[in-house]
Structure 1
Amino acid sequence: MIKFEHTIFALPFAFLGAIMGNLVEEGTVPSLMEWIWITLAMVGARSSAMALNRAIDSEIDGRNPRTKTRAIPAKLLKRGEVYLFILISLALLFVSAYQLNALSVKLLPLAVFFLVIYSYTKRFTYLCHIVLGVTIAIAPLGGWVGATGTLSPEAFLLFIGVLFWTAGFDVIYATQDAEYDKTHGLYSIPSSFGIANGLMTARWLHVASFIAFVSLGIVSGMGWIYYLGVFISGAIMVYEHSLVKPHDLSKLDVAFFTMNGVLSVVMFIFSVGDLLI
């Protein structure tokens, strides 16, 4: 039920937020215990978010030919088992936040709100992609706060970059369900405005993401290694869009899973390399 390929989108950015935050704010890398609690918080947040999505959407998933084999509609898991798993995952998130710092605890209700609300937004707004972007972008923001106990303009630029990147690839992913969503009263940009317009919107969201990452480098005083990573990531986004056409979605899985997983790792490696060298 919990897909590793989805987790790899957010985890490198959470670690990047922690490293960048500590180096910007304190000039050091996070301690071993901070690494452990940030990682456990991410495990709790990501696991609860995925499980909540599957539980909340189980009836919708059961009616959609593409998703009817998921764990709950396929009766591989009982609903009670999933809710128990959610409670355990949220408990892990709460304990981890309390072990980090006061600001992590204060912002925890906001994070949990977005973890829960995202799965409902497709029922009433095509801006559900932006809400998912906020939810995933809380990962680097959470890493930053978890390591430093503070927030800064750099943290919000990292947040914005991840937000628009996530929203863009979620619009691409939603193209495969555009017709189903339209006929079943569900909202997405592709179902509301058409697949071609949806893909164009995704392009502009990724342009905004690229600008945010460049701006982060400028504000943070990053060097050429960071910018090389940003431009490689930009090239990955361009390639991702070249794989998906309005009338040919056959390479969508490669564009969604492979390319975005590679991008998050590239941003982490080049950013941390620039910070440490």
Structure 2
Amino acid sequence: MEKLIKKINDFNELVMFKHSIFSLPFIFIAMVVAAKGWFGFKLLILGVLAALTARNFAMGFNRYMDRDIDALNPRTENRPNVDGRISVKSMLIFNIANALGFIAVAYFVNDLAFYLSIPILIIIGSYSYFKRFSYLAHVILGISLALAPIAGVVAVSESIPLWTVLLSIGVMFWVAGFDLLYSLQDMEVDKKLKLHSIPSKFGAQKTMYISRVFHTLTVLFWLLFVITSNSGIFAYIAVLASAIMLSYEHYLVNKDFTKIDRAFFTVNGYLGIVFFVLIVIDNIF
């Protein structure tokens, strides 16, 4: 039993399960808006399973592909994919199982979800390659998480309305913007290993400026989402709250680079939860 618990903890560390909080709220935001409220227990369960299997595949595949890079980075050299706690074979099995699980869940959602499942897996898996030849990898990561609201609305209505696209574009800029800040930690390592990233190409100050531009666009597209979805006052409050929290995130990073983890995990985690709660309230009253 102890070995099993240890192995589960190792896989939990591998995919950083707690970071699912970034994608889960926006799947359910789209589902709540599409259903104009409660969308049923079946879609709740399938939505959670789809989000977890997709994210496990994305993170697991990234760790599998990056094990050579992670071994050369002092910040990542103790990860389970590097130090031998999880074998290459185990990672492959884990990735295949989650990919098949995601496809199976999509099959039980509806036909459009099933047809889109493999293209979605290809997109979220492609992030692992981009950093090797393009500094736009941050945007690819943003696109990967931006698929969450699209998947949510497809599950409910088997369609992709304009407001979902606007919400997703906002998510893309949100994720790309905070990934830029997080990547500042690896700027010198990326240069040394000849990896492509915006910090290694443009430096810290320009990276923070680009991140601010991305997050300004985030707020703009989320505002357009609220307008086109005919949402109410609480949805506008959600956009205002997100603008305040993103401003605070940049304040933390500008003040002290050592606050990057706090800005990345805490602020962005709360942002998704607050946004979701306010959207739920907006669709109840």
Is 2:79 the partner of 1:70? Answer: yes
**What TM-score, normalized by structure 1, do the two folds share?**
0.96
Cα distance in 2 for partners of 1:115, 1:218 equals 29
Where do 4+ consecutive residues of structure 1 move more than 4 Å? none
Tell me how far 1:5 sits from its aligned partner: 3.3
> Percent same amino acid at aligned positions?
36
Match of 2:260 among 252, 259, 262: 252
Q: Distance in 2 between matches of 1:34 and 1:228?
A: 27
Cα distance, 1:109 vs. partner?
2.0
Structure 2 residue runs of 5 or longer lacking an equivalent are 1-13
Q: TM-score, normalised by structure 2?
A: 0.93
Is this contact kept in 2: 1:72–1:78, CA < 8 A? Answer: yes
Native 8 Å contact 2:103 2:118 kept in 1: no
SS class of match (1:245): helix
Q: What code does the residue aligned with 2:272 have?
A: S
Q: Distance in 1 between matches of 2:263 and 2:188?
A: 20
Report the equivalent of 1:17.
30
**RMSD value over aligned CA atoms?**
1.1
Q: Give the distance between the partners of 1:22 and 1:138, measured in 2 at CA.
A: 18
1:79 matches 2:92 = no
- Match for residue 120 of structure 2? 111
Q: How many residues align?
A: 272
Aligned position for 1:2: 15
Shift of 1:79: 0.9
CA distance in 2, matches of 1:253, 1:38: 28
Structure 2 CA distance for aligned equivalents of residues 275 and 121 of structure 1: 39
What SS does the corresponding residue of 2:78 show, helix, strand or coil? coil
- Contact preservation (8 Å) 2:113, 2:151: yes
In the other structure, the counterpart of 2:7 is: none
Q: In the TM superposition, what is the alpha-carbon distance from 1:142 to its structure 2 partner?
A: 0.6
Structure 2 counterpart of 1:274, one-letter code:
D
Mapping 1:258-273, distance limit 5 Å = 258-273=266-281
Structure 1: tracts of 5 or more residues without a match? none
Q: Deviations over 1:184-234 (max 9, x none)?
A: 110111110001100100000000000001111111111111111111111
Of stretches 226-235 and 198-207 in structure 1, the one that deviates more from structure 2 is: 226-235
Taking the aligned partners of 2:19 and 2:204, their CA distance within structure 1 comes to 23
Whole-angstrom CA distance in 2 between matches of 1:133 and 1:30: 26
